[in-house]
């Protein structure tokens, strides 16, 4: 066949598919953000006196559970392990089952956590149940994120940006919830119940949106590898009546959304290692972006203090507003920006240079008005801290979104899911590296 056949995808009417992918992005990180925000609630319940069988009556033995450290450890380990596993799991377990199963388990675990808010428990028992919940939620989140990044990779690059923007919005919800809990007069149990009901509802909404996605014509076009229902039906009939194909040029989706024909042997899926060889630079870049971010946020940024110490009200909400809300808002702006402009390009040497330049934010933030800092304070004013945080978070969202959008462009349509899963693994690897490095920076940057 000398003439190349092309097919134009249907329109995304009302941008419904874009909205659904945005919601899927929110759903993947909303549970984790709310779990992290409820740290004060968990620490409060674990501070209850722990009476032992050997203790004398009315004698309590307080115990330090070190909840925050264990939460970080038992979050990153399953994320790292099961994100890597998902890179191989996709070849044996259907993506539809992986996503639906993960969302159902996350919903059940958060329902359990919400129910336990009103159930009195011994601290030891509560700690064990909470740690097990954190492990399994992050295990499912790893499979969920890897699978959804693979699905989103089948769509044009701007949909990857929408997905990343949704993840950024999840952080804003958590930060606002934190602010409202500080400003409200609600007791701790009521605040915690509100925290955990919200991700329960959001997880159900995410599941419904995911199940709706294949029902939309625009989504089916890309999920089927760039073919409409009519073309797919015709191809199935041909496959059932002929043992050999009528031609040797199956379809392959181009970057502009059209379909071209390529030799059949090129349609075999590449191995995981072969895909990594094509996207290794984007994988290393996304690792570096999140490693820099997690090395100082939040371990250093939450220790920055306001210079307006006479205002008790401002002191109370300073960290929530200037650290968490500023970070999550500008991170969302950064994640959304690639839908308007994508610079540097994926082939430009300026892209990895821009990623490496973010290392400058580590000393900049450590030189702010950090409590009990061993280092001199060069940026004492609140405004300086807000500006640095804004640039820090914007660059995090912008460069991370570009990495996730660029990676699938280096591979063929059939290998996009593998590329998405690998990118998710390296994203989580960056989180783990940054979280580990934060212990060192926390020790070097502040006095005990």
Delimit the domains of the chain by residue range: 10-48+65-223, 229-267, 270-448
SS3 447: coil
Contact 420, 149 (CB under 8 A): yes
Q: Is the dihedral angle over the CA atoms 214, 219, 223, 225 positive or is it negative?
A: positive
SS3 324: helix
- Tokens 């990779």 belong to 153
SS3 370: strand
d(CA 198, CA 202): 6
Residues whose CB is less than 8 angstroms from the CB of residue 2 and which lie 6 or more positions away in sequence, other chains included? none
- What token pair was written down for 311? 């205002």
Which regions of 18-161 does DSSP assign to beta strands (E)? none
d(CA 290, CA 288): 6
CA neighbor of 88 nearest in space, from 317, 318, 276: 276
pLDDT tens-place string over residues 38-65: 766 777 788 766 544 444 444 455 576 7
Residue 259 pairs with which residues in a beta bridge? 253
CATH label, 10-48+65-223, candidates 3.40.50.1970, 3.40.50.1240, 1.20.1250.20, 2.70.98.10 = 1.20.1250.20
- DSSP secondary structure letter of residue 320: I
| CA 229 and chain centroid, separation | 33
d(CA 208, CA 191): 27
CA neighbor of 164 nearest in space, from 22, 345, 27, 329: 22
SS3 140: helix
SS3 252: strand
Alpha helices, DSSP H, located in 213-325: 217-223, 229-241, 272-296, 312-318
| Phi, psi of 252, deg, nearest 5 | -140, 135
- pLDDT confidence of residue 350: 96
- What token pair was written down for 405? 């959008």
10-48+65-223 matches 270-448 in fold: yes
Report helix angle 67-89 to 39-46, nearest 10: 130
In total, the chain counts a number of residues equal to 448
SS3 268: coil
* Other CB atoms within 10 A of residue 345 CB: 10
The series of mean pLDDT values per 10 residues for the chain, 448 residues long, is: 55 86 88 72 72 45 64 76 70 82 93 90 91 90 83 85 83 80 72 78 91 88 67 42 41 47 57 91 96 85 88 85 91 88 92 97 94 87 96 96 92 84 84 81 66
d(CA 412, CA 254): 8
SS3 311: coil
CATH class belonging to 270-448? mainly alpha
- pLDDT confidence of residue 358: 97
- What token pair was written down for 363? 């000393």
- pLDDT confidence of residue 445: 61
d(CA 202, CA 114): 14
d(CA 209, CA 203): 10
* Other CB atoms within 10 A of residue 28 CB: 26
d(CA 26, CA 173): 9
Contact 350, 212 (CB under 8 A): no
- pLDDT confidence of residue 225: 72
H/E stretch holding 259 reads strand 259-261
- What token pair was written down for 199? 């991700």
Residue 446 pairs with which residues in a beta bridge? 373
pLDDT tens-place string over residues 169-183: 888 887 887 787 777
d(CA 436, CA 295): 7
| CA 28 and chain centroid, separation | 6
- pLDDT confidence of residue 2: 39
- What token pair was written down for 410? 């280096």
Contact 345, 351 (CB under 8 A): yes
The DSSP string of 101-158 is: HHHHHHHHHHHHHHHHTTS---HHHHHHHHHHHHHHHHHHHHHHHHHHHHHHTTS-HH
- pLDDT confidence of residue 162: 86
- What token pair was written down for 23? 């919601």
- pLDDT confidence of residue 260: 47
């Amino acid at each position: 066949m000398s003439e190349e056949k092309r097919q134009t995808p249907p329109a995304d009417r009302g941008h419904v598919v874009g909205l659904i992918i945005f919601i899927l992005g929110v759903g993947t990180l909303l549970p984790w953000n709310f779990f992290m925000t409820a740290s004060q609630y968990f620490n409060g319940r674990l501070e209850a006196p722990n009476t032992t069988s050997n203790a004398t009556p009315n004698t309590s033995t307080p115990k330090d559970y070190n909840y925050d450290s264990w939460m970080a450890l038992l979050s990153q380990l399953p994320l790292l392990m099961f994100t890597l596993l998902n890179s191989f799991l996709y070849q044996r377990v259907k993506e539809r089952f992986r996503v639906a199963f993960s969302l159902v388990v996350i919903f059940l675990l958060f329902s359990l956590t919400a129910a336990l808010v009103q159930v009195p428990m011994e601290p030891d028992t509560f700690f064990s149940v909470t740690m097990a919940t954190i492990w399994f939620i992050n295990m499912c989140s790893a499979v969920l994120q890897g699978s959804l990044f693979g699905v989103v990779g089948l769509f044009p690059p701007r949909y990857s940006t929408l997905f990343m923007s949704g993840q950024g919005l999840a952080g804003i919800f958590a930060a606002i919830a934190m602010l409202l809990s500080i400003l409200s007069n609600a007791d701790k149990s009521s605040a915690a119940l509100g925290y955990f009901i919200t991700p329960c509802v959001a997880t159900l909404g995410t599941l419904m949106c995911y199940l709706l996605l294949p029902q939309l014509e625009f989504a089916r076009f890309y999920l089927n590898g760039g073919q409409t229902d009519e073309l797919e039906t015709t191809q199935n009939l041909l496959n059932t009546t002929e043992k050999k194909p009528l031609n040797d040029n199956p379809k392959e989706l181009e970057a502009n959304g059209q379909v071209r024909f390529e030799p059949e042997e090129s349609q075999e899926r590449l191995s995981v290692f072969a895909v990594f060889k094509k996207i290794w630079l984007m994988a290393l870049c996304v690792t570096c972006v999140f490693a820099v971010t997690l090395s100082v946020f939040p371990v250093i940024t939450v220790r920055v203090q306001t210079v307006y110490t006479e205002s008790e009200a401002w002191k109370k909400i300073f960290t929530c507003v200037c650290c968490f809300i500023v970070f999550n808002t500008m991170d969302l702006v950064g994640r959304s920006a690639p839908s308007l402009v994508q610079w540097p390009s994926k082939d430009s040497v300026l892209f990895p240079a821009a990623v490496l330049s973010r290392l400058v934010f580590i000393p900049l933030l450590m030189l702010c008005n950090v409590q009990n800092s061993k280092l001199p304070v060069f940026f004492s004013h609140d405004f300086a801290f807000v500006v640095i945080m804004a640039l820090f978070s914007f660059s995090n969202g912008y460069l991370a979104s570009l990495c996730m959008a660029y990676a699938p462009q280096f591979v063929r349509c059939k290998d996009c899911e593998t590329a998405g899963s690998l990118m998710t693994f390296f994203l989580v690897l960056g989180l783990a590296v940054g979280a580990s490095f934060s212990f060192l920076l926390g020790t070097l940057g502040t006095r005990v």
